[in-house]
Chain A
């Protein structure tokens, strides 16, 4: 019993699972509702997989965050039997949770194999944990991809599992085993407490006082303390460049390209979607067709397959926006003292946000255009520019909402882990709502931007920036900054 408590009390935080449940229900209803409005959400057989996989996955990500926090706490390593106890408690959580979910979902449907679904639920709990855990990047990538597949292709996946039952069960078992090993490995417990909380050793404006030999030694690969940006002249843009330097190191372009490379996962998803679709043309041509359709959705072509990945594309754009705002924000370090007045800091923060948003928009649009036209070429479509590509509206929507996310990121600098925890789920719910609205917008309106739409979008863009700027000013002049 004591062993079980070792992990379960870590996730006994109030509201943890409430947020998760809410998020999953909203996601499920939105995804299913958009794709097939006339199917009742919780009864249809392939959606059973979605729910039984989805909820443990989200709960697993929470558990993974709790585990990560615990493992990076310096007191954890010397607790006796810490690995076996947390591993056991974790397994108990996964099993209990998936059993509960399966029992709740399938009350009206007797054709499902309960044991199998419980197994998948347990596995997805582990996959969810790995996806947010730094232990193994590759496994995290694989698990995210798998989760996306189940969410966006649950029909196909259910069919696949039915056809290749033994293979899929053993594959899942192997994957889960790998996850267990990665999450509770000796090296993870040993190493995580010694990772310094801040990976970079200092800011250029204070570099002399921050030269700590020890920190430099450990963070040798991240340090750029000694390199000053050339041509620093104390103007606002100069400070924005300094912020870029402090956030991304001496090569900000590299960081931008690296974060855009996360679009790769979306294209993996589209390719996998193609593989799962029944097809009559060569594979490459099929990939081209589906990608072109998913990104551009031209009015003169019929949709291919029964569920084209529009949801995935629009969700991706929103997620990329949230990603750059929260994971790789462009900002001066919040806890350092710069020779800047509060008002100046708010101006710099706003200018930096603008720069980040613009970079984001340009990079996204460019990569979608390039990939889309490449796909069109693969599919042998003629080059046509007389319509508004599908991705433009989600992108516009994201840009309009970006300042609110950026403001949340500014607020989160002074809040603790617990608050960020709940905020993550507010974000998921917000994104889901956003995708639903954007899709409705895209599907209901013609494929050419109307004048009203253009004027309205521009007005909203400007208004959101204006409000954001005022909010920043207010915060930087009136609130505690650390």
Chain B
């Protein structure tokens, strides 16, 4: 069991609608994975399978080496989970809620707890019901990380945070990977944030895994070429297999390619054109990653 999460042929249907469709995915230990996809692409459903809250219609789901339907106390001691829709006990105060949750775990890092409360500016005497959505989100993260989980699942953990809190939260998550050697899976729409901390990217679209690759690898492989031809016209479209997206306009073209450096030379030679290569960041890559990529 070298994987923190292992899905094989996982399919989940709600009322005949397949929300996850034959997902095969492994997430290794001590990696920081970004789970990306548009609304309704199945991210939350996937993460709920990880903690065994949903059970697959077909296929296998394992977390920390155990089938998710039989996860028990030992595994939950090692998992931290921040769900997308956070519902806490509104009538408790922040510190009551923390000590309530603490009672369930064998180990609890009070130092991390107080430092986080301090850094995130959460008031222990506030009632949970009176907290703003952002503060609830912060509290949910505090509740999920103080037992030093090996596997931390975060479903949109920063969506309601202001830029400063978001930055603090991301710093903290990086620290968690450094200190605990934890595996973190984080789903988010804020690609800039994901890009900052993750080293692996999984993209879902309509319940299918479209991309499952290291972020560095993606950035190296994909590039945008600005093609110009001094004399004569470019063909109406390029048929090379490494061209993922293209926009040709007479003597000028903009193509997105998935290739290594060698292709550029041969392309230049074949069309006797000029190439300006531009690297793509995650935000620019995202439409490509959820769309065309069949890798």
Name the segment of A38-46, A77-85, A372-380 touching the other chain.
Answer: A77-85
Chain B: which residue is nearest A2 at the CB level?
A: B103
The reply to whether A77 and B40 form a contact with Cβ atoms under 8 Å apart is: no
Cβ of A214 within 8 Å of any chain B Cβ, yes or no, is yes
Min C-beta distance of B137 to chain A, whole Å: 12
* Cα A80 to Cα B78 with chains together (Å): 9
B83 interface residue, CB < 8 Å from A?
Answer: yes
What's the least CB distance linking A303 to chain B, in Å? 47
Q: Count contacts between A and B, CB distance < 8 Å.
A: 94
- Is A218 an interface residue when CB atoms closer than 8 A count as contact? yes
How many residues belonging to A are interface residues under a CB distance threshold of 8 Å?
34
A6 and B87 contact, CB distance less than 8 A: no
Collect the chain A residues with CB atoms within 8 Å of residue B83's CB. 74-75, 193
By the criterion CB–CB under 8 Å, are A214 and B44 in contact? Answer: yes
Residue from B39, B52, B88 in contact with A75 in the complex, judged by beta carbons closer than 8 Å = B88
CB contacts under 8 Å to A, within B46-64, are: 48, 51-55
* Smallest CB separation, B66 vs chain A (Å): 13
A194 touches B91 (CB 8 A): no
Chain B residues within an 8 Å CB radius of A73: 87-89
Query: Does the CB pair A217–B53 fall under 8 Å?
Result: no
In whole angstroms, what is the CA distance A13 to B79 when docked?
A: 29
A439 CA to B54 CA, complexed, in Å:
52
A184 in contact (CB, < 8 A): no
Q: Are B103 and A75 touching (Cβ within 8 A)? A: no
State in angstroms the CA–CA spacing of A77 and B100 once bound together: 14
B44 neighbours in A (Cβ, 8 Å): 214
Q: How far, in angstroms, from A82 to B73 measured CA to CA in the complex?
A: 8
Shortest C-beta distance, A155 to chain B (Å), equals: 40
CA of A2 to CA of B81 in the docked complex: distance in angstroms?
22
Contact between A77 and B104 (Cβ–Cβ < 8 Å)? no
Chain A residues contacting B88 (CB-CB under 8 Å) are: 73-75
Q: Is B143 an interface residue (CB 8 A)?
A: yes
Is B53 in contact with A81, judged by CB distance below 8 angstroms? no
Interface 1/0 per residue, A78-112 and B, CB below 8 Å: 11111001000000000000000000000000000
Q: Does A70 lie within 8 Å of B52, measured CB to CB?
A: no
Interchain nearest-CB distance for B90 vs A (Å): 6
**Which single residue of chain B is at the shortest CB-CB distance from A189?**
B53
A5 within 8 A of B: yes
Q: Which residue of chain B lies nearest to A220 when distances are taken between CB atoms in the complex?
A: B15
A212 at the interface (CB under 8 A from B): yes
Q: Which residues of A contact B53 (CB under 8 A)?
A: 77, 190, 193-194
Q: Is A417 an interface residue (CB 8 A)?
A: yes
Q: A80-B74, A82-B76, A217-B40 provided; 20 other pairs, C-beta below 8 A?
A: A2-B104, A6-B103, A10-B89, A13-B91, A73-B87, A74-B87, A75-B81, A75-B83, A75-B87, A77-B81, A78-B76, A78-B79, A80-B73, A193-B83, A197-B87, A212-B39, A213-B39, A214-B40, A218-B14, A220-B15
- Please list 22 pairs of residues, one from A and one from B, whose beta carbons are closer than 8 Å in the complex, sorted by A's number: A72-B87, A73-B89, A74-B87, A74-B88, A75-B86, A75-B88, A78-B80, A79-B76, A80-B77, A80-B104, A190-B55, A193-B87, A194-B53, A196-B85, A197-B85, A197-B87, A212-B39, A212-B40, A214-B39, A220-B17, A416-B91, A417-B91
Interface residues, chain A, CB within 8 Å of chain B? 2, 5-6, 9-10, 13, 69-70, 72-75, 77-82, 85, 190, 193-194, 196-197, 212-214, 217-218, 220-221, 416-418
